[in-house]
Every structure is written in structure tokens, then in C-alpha cells.
Structure 1
Amino acid sequence: MKRKPNNPRARVERAMRGLLRVHRACIVDASVPEVQVMLHYKTCHKITSKPVADALCDIAHHWTVYMSAICQDGGRQWAKSVEYELEGIHVITRLPDLFEQPIADLIASCNPKHVIGHAWIAIPDSVSLDEEQAHRIYQAVGAWRQQAAA
């Protein structure tokens, strides 16, 4: 049996993906209080580790994306959301371009009087979030502390 050739790059990328799974890392981007932050998607704590940031930003991943129109009416807060997995693998810097039309469609499906912004959560793995987890993540980044974008 012939051995596979040594591929240091593939080995490093595997180690980086493992690091992201251990830290349960995700990127959260909220529109109005222009926030983009790395979080542990289970505990909602910020991740400030440079190796984790490098693993998220330096290599391409298969992403699961949770997009939301952030809505508010009086004291009631909610998010109208859609979740899907992107086809192929992408670098994080390319994600905002891929989200423009789906976010515009999502916002268009909401009552414009209630929409105060939009946000997305990108996880570099095949992980599904439920509404409660997503709501906690959006609370952690202050998605409802925004002023209505009138």
C-alpha cells in the first residue's frame, strides 16, 4: 500500500478547523451598531484568541449561516431568520458579498416599521442553531440596542 504524500498545508488546515470546533467559534455581524465579533456560539462569550482568529480568517471553510432581520415594536423584540449552508468553501472576507441579496430579500419580507437592522451568524461547520441560541447571540452583541434605521 502506497502512503499519501506529506502535505503540511492540509495538516495545518485540519488543525485549524479542529481548533475552531473546540472553541465553537462563530462570526457575528450586526448592521447598525456596526459590530463584527468572534463568539463561542454556546456560551456567547467573546473569543479574543489570535490563533482562533487566524483559523477563521486565513483559510476557507464550509459555512452554516443564520441571517436575521432584527425587528422591534414597542418593547417586543424578535428576529425573522433563515438558516442555510453555503455551497462550497469560502474565505470569511467573501461572505458579506454573498449575503447582500438574501438579506435584502429577508428585510423586504418584514414590516418596514418594525425592522431596525439586520445581523448574521456564520459558523465554519455544519451546525444548526435554534431561535433561542441565535437570540442569545444577538443579545450578546447588542443587536436590539440599535436605533431604528428610519
Structure 2
Amino acid sequence: MAKPRKKNDSQRRLLRATEALLRQNHVAIVDLLPQDKQGLINWRNCRSVRSSRQLIDAVCDLPHRWTIYLAVFCRSPLGERYIKGEEIVPTGQYRSEQINPAITHYHEELLASCNQSHVIGTGWIASPVGESLTEDEAARVFEAVGCWESSEPA
């Protein structure tokens, strides 16, 4: 007896293709405050991702299991720059516009653990394919997008 053929599941095929596209391009969303910058970046080479319709749809329209690196940018009175960060993996799948409400609690805890007189700004890097970033990789990405542009502590 022959095996029954698997049904063609176009939704699964689309999901696999978009994940492959995002993984190949090392796409991540970067968000900085108070500079109010947000955009797509290739976290491997720290360059802005060329926005194609397919790539934007892959990030924005589909829910993903995100890996998010939260950071607080600080500068000591002596001018020494440092980043206090942590990586979280929220349970469940979220669309890109649902990330901010999902991580607000974690970001507030991280901000509260910092010396408030040193804080310059905050930011996060979100990977839709679950890529984990080291502290050095996250620092390179944040510097590439201008996290230190605000010169005065908040």
C-alpha cells in the first residue's frame, strides 16, 4: 500500500520561506529612545537592511517567536560609556507591533536597576528568528545606529 501524499500547506510553506529570508539577511528590529529611531538592520554587519516589500511583510505581518536584547545606555560623570543589558525570550508569538507592550515590564525593571543619573537612553534589538546576540554584537549594533548621540544624561 502506497503512503498517502502530504497535503500542500501553502501557509506553512510561506512561513518557512519568510523565516529563511529573515535568517539569511540576519534581520533584526532596532528601537532607540529618546532618539525615537526604529528600523531594520542586519545585525551581522551593522548595516541598514534594504527595504523590500517581501522583507517588510515577513517582519511585520507574521507572528514570530522573538529574541529581544534590552539595553540601557549610561554615561558616568567621568564620561565613561557603558551599556547595561539583558536578553529575554517572551513566551508566545507576537507580531512586530505587539513587541513594545510585551517587553515594557522587563524594560522598566532593567531601567530601575540602573543609576538614574547616568542614564542617557534605552533601546532594544529584536530578532524574529530567535537569533541570540552576545553583549559585544549588541553593543556594535547600538553604536552603529547612534545610541550615544544624546550627550546629556536624562
TM-score band (shorter)? over 0.9
Say if 1:67 and 1:103, in contact at 8 Å, map to a contact too: yes
Separation in structure 1 between the aligned mates of residue 153 and residue 11 of structure 2, nearest angstrom = 45
The equivalent of 1:67 in structure 2 is 70
| Bigger Rg, structure 1 or 2 | 2
Residues 82-126 of structure 1: per-residue CA shift (max 9 Å, x gap): 102221211011000111111111010000010111100000123
Task: Give the drift of 1:149.
Answer: 5.6
Q: Is the 8 A contact 2:64 2:129 kept in 1?
A: yes
Code of the residue aligned with 2:33 in structure 1: it is: S
The residue number in structure 2 matching 1:114 is 118
How many residue pairs get aligned? The number is 150
SS at match of 2:71: strand
Deviations 1:28-58 (A, max 9, x none): 0001110001000110000022221211111
Unaligned runs of at least 5 residues, structure 2: none
Kept in 1: contact 2:27–2:127 (CA 8 A): yes
Segment of structure 1 superposing worse, 139-148 or 114-123: 139-148
Question: Superposition RMSD on alpha carbons, in Å?
Answer: 1.3
TM-score, with normalisation over the residues of structure 1?
A: 0.94
The TM-score, its normalising length taken from structure 2, stands at 0.92
Q: Counterpart of 1:34?
A: 36
Aligned mates of 2:4, 2:33 — CA distance in 1:
52
Q: Which runs of 5+ in 1 are unaligned?
A: none
Aligned counterparts of 2:39 and 2:144: Cα–Cα separation in 1: 10
CA distance in 2, matches of 1:149, 1:62: 34
**1:62: how far off?**
0.8
Question: Structure 2 CA distance, aligned partners of 1:37 and 1:13?
Answer: 22
Q: Which residue of 1 aligns with 2:98?
A: 94
**Is residue 15 from structure 1 mapped to residue 17 from structure 2 by the alignment?**
yes
Letter in 2 for 1:101: H
